[in-house]
């Protein structure tokens, strides 16, 4: 019998990478390698995290590195490598820079961690996860993206605040691409199975008011990333994306078969083939084990279709830029 501790490689040791490393350690998910191209920085962060082991009581190894070879034999790789958009930079400029980074990271993963499952967080998410799968040549089940877990958590959080109930009892799935066209599924949002819309109507005793309150929450969910960027001024959200990726990681490492909103490649589901889109999928030790199809009404289908069109356009733009 062989007992092995999972090896988790975090590619990108910036804001999200640092929080990821700490969460993985505190939750004792495995041994952690934090890789970045910036000399010494991942080593510094790892040391800082490891020095809390006596307080938080974890034995996980946390190592920082600038050597790609340390990715060797990773079980799961989480990728946050990339640069954020700077003033004066066009969307295409950002797409080109991050695509180059993802391509080189993907080649290294293919070489050093050929059996790993890869979770991509870098933006623009739907394009980056597409490129990661293309570069590694891994089966689609082993390459997925994080967006929906966070978008759904944001939706659920705003609903919990509005209704004065615990967020733990709310399920509020968000599907589609990770961008302005994401699709918060209002009809499916529920508190322990009871539709949220019904509760809003009871609260306001007006269907119109309930509808406008929900529209505001949907808008805030769609704009939530931007709301944080505007407040932080020097970067984008990092605590919540890290938490979201860790939920996916746990589902995989513990073979939990959790059905979560993730960016996965469709193979005929929802009538779409060959594109990465946010949908509900079951995660376990093989990665994406099943995509859950579900009934969408005409309005939801139209929103989903337009979101898929935006993803297709992004992937075409990436192709036009040579990736």
Name the nearest CA neighbour of 25 among 67, 64, 82, 69. 64
Closer by beta carbon to ligand APR, 122 or else 157: 122
CB of 315 to ligand APR, least distance (A): 17
Closer by beta carbon to ligand APR, 146 or else 199: 146
178 is catalytic: yes
DSSP 24-79: HHHTT-SEEEEE-SSTTHHHHHHHHHHTTHHHHT----EEEES-GGGGTT-SEEEE
Closer by beta carbon to ligand APR, 9 or else 210: 9
Closer by beta carbon to ligand APR, 42 or else 160: 42
- Which residue's CB atom is positioned nearest to ligand APR? 14
One of 142, 178, 222, 265 is an active-site residue; which one? 178
Beta bridge partners of 196: none
CB of 67 to ligand APR, least distance (A): 11
Pairing relationship of beta strands 174-175 and 183-184 according to DSSP bridges = antiparallel
CA-to-CA distance for 54 and 51, rounded, in angstroms?
Answer: 7
CB of 107 to ligand APR, least distance (A): 10
CB of 80 to ligand APR, least distance (A): 4
Residue 173 has a CB neighbour count (10 Å cut-off) of 24
List residues near ligand APR by CB under 6 A.
11-17, 35-38, 80-82, 84, 101, 104-105, 121-123, 235-236, 238, 241
Residue pair 263/276 in contact (Cβ under 8 Å)? The answer is yes
Q: Which residues are annotated as catalytic?
A: 178
């Amino acid at each position: 019998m062989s007992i092995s501790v999972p090896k988790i490689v975090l590619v990108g040791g910036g804001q999200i990478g640092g929080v990821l490393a700490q969460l993985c350690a505190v939750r004792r998910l495995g041994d952690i390698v934090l890789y970045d191209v910036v000399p010494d920085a991942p080593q510094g962060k790892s040391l800082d995290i490891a020095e809390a082991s006596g307080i938080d009581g974890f034995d996980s190894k946390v190592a920082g590195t600038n050597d790609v070879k340390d990715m060797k034999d990773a079980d799961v790789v989480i990728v946050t490598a990339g640069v954020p958009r700077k003033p004066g930079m066009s969307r295409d400029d950002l797409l080109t820079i991050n695509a180059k980074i993802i391509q080189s990271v993907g080649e290294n993963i293919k070489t050093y961690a050929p059996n790993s499952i890869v979770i991509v967080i870098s933006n623009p998410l739907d394009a980056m996860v597409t490129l990661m799968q293309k570069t590694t040549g891994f089966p689609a089940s082993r390459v997925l993206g994080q967006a929906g877990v966070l978008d759904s958590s944001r939706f659920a959080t705003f609903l919990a605040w509005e209704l004065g109930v615990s967020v733990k009892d709310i399920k509020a799935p968000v599907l589609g691409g990770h961008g302005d066209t994401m699709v918060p599924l209002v009809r499916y949002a529920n508190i322990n199975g009871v539709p949220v819309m019904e509760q809003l109507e009871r609260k306001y005793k007006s269907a119109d008011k309930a509808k406008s309150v929900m529209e505001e929450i949907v808008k805030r969910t769609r704009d939530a990333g931007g709301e944080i960027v505007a407040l932080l001024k020097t970067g984008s959200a990092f605590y919540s994306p890290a938490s979201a990726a860790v939920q996916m990681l746990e589902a995989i490492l513990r073979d939990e078969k959790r059905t979560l909103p993730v960016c996965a490649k469709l193979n005929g589901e929802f009538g779409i083939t060959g594109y990465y889109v946010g949908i509900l999928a079951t995660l376990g030790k093989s990665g994406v084990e099943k995509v859950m199809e579900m009934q969408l009404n005409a309005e939801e289908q139209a929103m989903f279709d337009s979101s898929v069109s935006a993803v297709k356009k992004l992937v075409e733009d990436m192709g036009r830029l040579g990736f």
